[in-house]
Structure 1
Amino acid sequence: MARFIFITGGVVSSLGKGLMAASLAALLQARGFKVRIRKFDPYLNVDPGTMSPYQHGEVYVTDDGAETDLDLGHYERFTGVSARQADNITSGRIYRDIIAKERRGDYLGATVQVIPHVTDAIKNFARAEIDDLDFVLCEIGGTVGDIESLPFIEALRQLRNELGRDQTCSIHVTLVPYVKAAGELKTKPTQHSVRELTSLGVQPDVLLCRCEHPLPDNERAKIAQFCNVRKEAVIPALDAQSIYSVPLQYHAEGLDAEVLRHFGIDSSVAPNLSRWDDIVDRYQHPEGEVNIGVVGKYVGLPDAYKSLNEALVHGGMAHRVKVNIRWIDAEVFEGDDSEIAARLEPLHGILVPGGFGVRGTEGKIASVRFARERKVPFFGICLGMQMACVEAARNTAGIEGAGSTEFGEPSEPVVGIITEWMGPEGLQQRGAESDLGGTMRLGAYEAKLAGNSHVSAIYGATTIWERHRHRYEVNGAYRERLEQGGLVFSGMSPDGLLPEIVERPDHPWFVGVQFHPELKSKPFDPHPLFAGFIGAALAQSRLV
């Protein structure tokens, strides 16, 4: 029977509950347990798919096509367990489903209420598809005290009563701030946060205390006394050099041992953390470095490209080099050739990521042209591939007026809205007037690679499965003219209709992909495209 670990946060947001959940799951895995992590998001959006990256960070897409919270990316990267639709729920999705049932008459005339209907739906979500697991980690989004999170905390309380304390563990992540003027760490915010949580009927078993300075023994004892937990259950969580050292750090502080003690499980046999030792060693002791420019639209918020950032780091780990990422706003390149040269010449590789909307697209096209003409390794992802095709159409294939229908009505629609494709449920059809939410080509799809292509050599295969999230596609009608200009379509959908990958054989490393390979990269298993891109950048650095 699966045991549940509930993770809540208090005092302030952005304390790293998702990273904590991923790290604890990795530690439990290292002890031989099977784990799965789930995220409960209290906001009223059905999913984050229509939210601006500046509001919520990146949208993480699963193999089965769910648009989810970015924390699911942490979960996958740290555990290697593929996330799925059943691992992320929002208040919006719960209320949508409940109201749909009420309209159908499923409740047989009953008054529909938060208790029991909403809390039952939350509990059903937590307990779904867990038969083969040892531990289910459930992270509650937001901060204790938020109005929107109350139904989730109540569902947590009910689950603890129904399953018993021996089958559930509550971990509360709090902040122990350092007041510089007083020269002291202050425990009062943690005390108040725990009091708020216990007033809702949930007594935490373990406290993870985020702090910038070491937590003295007497302060741990004070927190334990006021918060009604064991002193050993007060776990300091200091800022780490990198996120990949967090599992080792938490293990050293006794987090996994304390959780197992709570469940009555022997923790005397040390976990096998050799994989994490190697990851940290590669990260902290590089044997070189490369400079990569990411020319994007949302560069003001690093979380907007969270998986991309980590995938580049993984590519560096594959070659034991440090990757210096230069975030460049694509708009600065529009109409200023001198700025393009000044920003891009010092780089060893240029990456143009995905995005939506017209802002910055001409700057992205200019970046593609610079990479193509200067023979700098180039990697285009989703919109980045589309802009590479528009650049090729304009500058190597002689197609004047080439553009994308996403941004207007170009005379030559090299990129256009995808109206139908074959999905797991059969033929999928969309139109320009379709709802924005959940209507894109989402999830893992198969692609066939040309046997003599650069990408087939990188993958070591001619059939791949990669995750998609896009509404527009390169127009296959332009394939012949683009290939005459030197851009080869080296990856296609199995039916040969949808372009998946383009490359330039006359270039050291020039690859554009319609999918999002960053979503499948892991520190212990770097994605081959990112490993290949960083390898090409490393070769470029030795030529400069």
Structure 2
Amino acid sequence: MARFIFITGGVVSSLGKGLASAALGALLQARGYSVRLRKLDPYLNVDPGTMSPFEHGEVFVTDDGAETDLDLGHYERFTGVPARKTDSISSGRIYMNVLEKERRGDYLGKTIQVIPHVTNEIKDFIAIGEDEVDFMLCEIGGTVGDIEGLPFFEAIRQFSQDKPRGQCIFMHLTLLPYIKASGELKTKPTQHSVKELRSIGLAPDILVCRSEGPIPEKERAKLALFCNVRPEAVIAAQDLSTIYDAPLAYHKEGLDQAVLDAFQISPAPKPDLSKWEDVSDRIHHAEGEVKVAIVGKYTQLEDAYKSIAEALTHGGMANRVRVKVEWVDAEIFDTEDPGPHLEGFHAILVPGGFGERGTEGKIKAAQYAREHQVPYLGICLGMQMAVIEAARNVAGIAGAGSEEFDHEAGKKRFEPVVYHLKEWVQGNAKIERKVGDDKGGTMRLGSYNAVLTEGSKVAKVYGTCEIEERHRHRYEVDIKYREQLEKAGLKFSGMSPDGRLPEIVEWADHPWFIGVQYHPELKSKPFDPHPLFKDFVRAAKESSRLV
């Protein structure tokens, strides 16, 4: 039976609850325990799948096809535990489930209310798989005081009462602002946040306080007294130069020990932190630097490409170099020559995206990389743009484009080298989609197999000809152009097992030019870098020696 740790936040948002949860999960693993992490989001969207990246950052995709919050990426990167559909829920999904049950008559005509029906649905979700792990960490999105979060706070209060005493604890993350003019670290916002939490029946066992520096003993004692926690359970979460220092920093502050003390686990198993010590050493003792340009359309918000940025960091660690990422707005190239903007980079990456905006700039970035022999990695839309570039400029298909852009414009303007994917095979079932279908959850989502061409560059990178990767797309390169494109030199080096869907393309005569239809960044970890990112950074490192 799992022990439950509920992580809440107060004062302000974006304090790093997801990172704190992930780091705690890693520390519990280092002590020999099994863990699973979950995210409960109070927003009314059914999932983040249809939300703008400017609203919510990237959408993280699980093996079983769930579109989830980006915090699940942190969970996977720090613990290595693959997330599942049952690890992410929103108010929208909860209410949808309740209303579907009401329509079916499952409630036998009773009046449907937040308590008990909505809270029971949340509790049922939290309990899924509780027999599978030693610790279940559940992060509640938003901050205490948000009206939409109240059903979740009430649900975890009830849940803790339903379980035997000592099986649930609460960890509250707050902000300790430093007032420069007075030279003081202020505890009052945290006191008020805890007061708000206690007013709805929740009392924190552990306080994690974000601050720019260490917490003086005087302020630590004050927090312990007024927030009714033990002084050793007041944990400082100081600003770090890299998120991968978080497990070691939290261990030094005593977070994992405070959790075990709260559960009265004694004697506590000693932690093995060698894995994280190696990670930290590789980051802080890099032996060089490479510059990578990410040419995208959501460059104003770095969280839109969170997993890509982290996967590049992992690739750098594997090669003992620091990867300096610079974000380049693809729309700049609509009117300007990409050369002056890209000539100083050792590699170019074009990520995924939706819609036509910025695509001509991405096509020009792919062209620049091909013509100037710069290492190029195209992901999802980035692969499609590389194919369109090859079709237009090498294979002689002057009007090449994507059906996605025609659908957006409402008229036919291009020869659709990329088309709307209407059917595909998932397991033993055939999935069918129409252009007019609802947007949410209707893409080719989750983990699918691919077969690589023996002797291809990508097969050498993976070290195998059979791979399994996560997808998130509704448009696909049309296989009918394969022969024409391969004659031009663009090789289709990875295909779906049935041979119908192109998964990978590469230029055989280029030092390193690979486009993939899937999202390899979603499976990369600091202690297990994804092979593509590892080799992409290696190629960038080689390129840096030639510049």
Common fold: TM-score over 0.5: yes
Q: How many Å apart are 1:410 and its aligned residue?
A: 3.5
Contact preservation (8 Å) 1:257, 1:267: no
Runs of 4+ in 1 over 2 A off after TM superposition: 266-270
- Matched residues in 1 for 2:165 and 2:428: separation? 41
Secondary structure at the aligned position of 1:375 is classed as coil
Render the CA deviation track for 1:237-271: whole Å, top value 9, x for unaligned. Answer: 10011000011000000000010011111255430
Query: 3-state DSSP class of the match of 2:20?
Result: helix
Partner of 1:273: 273
Greater CA drift, 150-159 or 407-416:
407-416
1:256 aligns with 2:256: yes
| 2: CA distance, partners of 1:118 / 1:510 | 50
Measure the CA separation in 2 of the matches of 1:137 and 1:159: 14
Matches within 5 A, 1:384-403: 384-403=382-401
Map 1:277-316 to 2 at 5 A: 277-316=277-316
Q: Retained in 2: the 8 A contact 1:208–1:235?
A: yes
The answer as to 2:234 corresponding to 1:229 is no
For residues 424 and 14 of structure 1, the distance between their equivalents in structure 2, rounded to whole angstroms, comes to: 39
Alignment of 1:2-401 (within 5 A): 2-266=2-266, 268-337=268-337, 340-401=338-399
**Structure-2 residue corresponding to 1:518:** 521
Match for 2:418: what amino acid? V
Task: Give TM-score, length-normalised by structure 1.
Answer: 0.99
Shift of 1:335: 2.8
CA RMSD of aligned residues (A): 0.8
- Structure 1 unpaired stretches of 5+: none
Is the contact made by 1:294 and 1:350 (CA closer than 8 Å) also made in structure 2?
A: yes
Unaligned runs of 5+ in 2: 407-411
Q: Please state if 1:438 is matched with 2:438.
A: no
Partner of 2:500: 497
TM-superposed CA distance for 1:513, in Å, is 0.1
Aligned to 1:463: 466
| Distance in 2 between residues matched to 1:268 and 1:171, nearest whole Å | 19
Q: CA deviation at 1:132?
A: 2.1
Q: Which residue of 1 aligns with 2:409?
A: none
Q: Could you say what secondary structure the match of 2:106 adopts?
A: coil
Figure out how many residues of one structure are paired with residues of the other and give that number.
Answer: 542
Structure 2 contact 316–323 (Cα < 8 Å) conserved: yes
Structure 1 residues 276-304: Cα deviation after superposition (integer angstroms, max 9, x where no partner)? 00000000110011000000010000100
Which amino acid in structure 2 is aligned with residue 204 of structure 1? P
Q: State the 1:27 CA deviation.
A: 0.1
TM-score (norm 2): 0.98
**Letter paired with 2:545:** R
2:417 maps to 1:414: yes
Amino acid in structure 1 at the alignment position of 2:67: E
Give secondary structure in 2 for the equivalent of 1:166: coil
Provide the identity percentage.
Answer: 65
Please tell me whether the aligned partners of residues 260 and 268 of structure 2 are also in contact (alpha carbons under 8 angstroms): no
Partner Cα separation in structure 2 for residue 220 and residue 303 of structure 1:
32
Equivalent-residue separation in structure 2 for 1:230 and 1:102 (angstroms): 45
Following the alignment from structure 2 to structure 1, what is the Cα–Cα distance between the partners of residues 60 and 54? 14
Distance change (3 Å), C-alpha of 1:285 and 1:535: same
Q: Residues 30 and 273 of structure 1 are in contact (CA less than 8 Å); yes or no, is this contact kept in structure 2?
A: yes
- Residue identity in the other structure for 1:146: D
The code of the aligned residue for 1:514 comes to: Q
Q: Deviations over 1:331-387 (max 9, x none)?
A: 0011322xx111110000000000001110000000000000000000000000000
2:295–2:351 Cα contact (<8 Å) kept: yes
Which of residues 538, 541, 545 is equivalent to 1:542? 545
- Partner of residue 402, structure 2: 404
Provide the secondary structure at the position in 1 that maps to 2:166.
Answer: helix
Q: Quote the Cα distance in structure 1 between the aligned partners of 2:505 and 2:79.
A: 31
* 8 Å contact kept, 2:32–2:269: no
Is 2:427 the partner of 1:424? yes
1:173 aligns to what SS in structure 2? strand
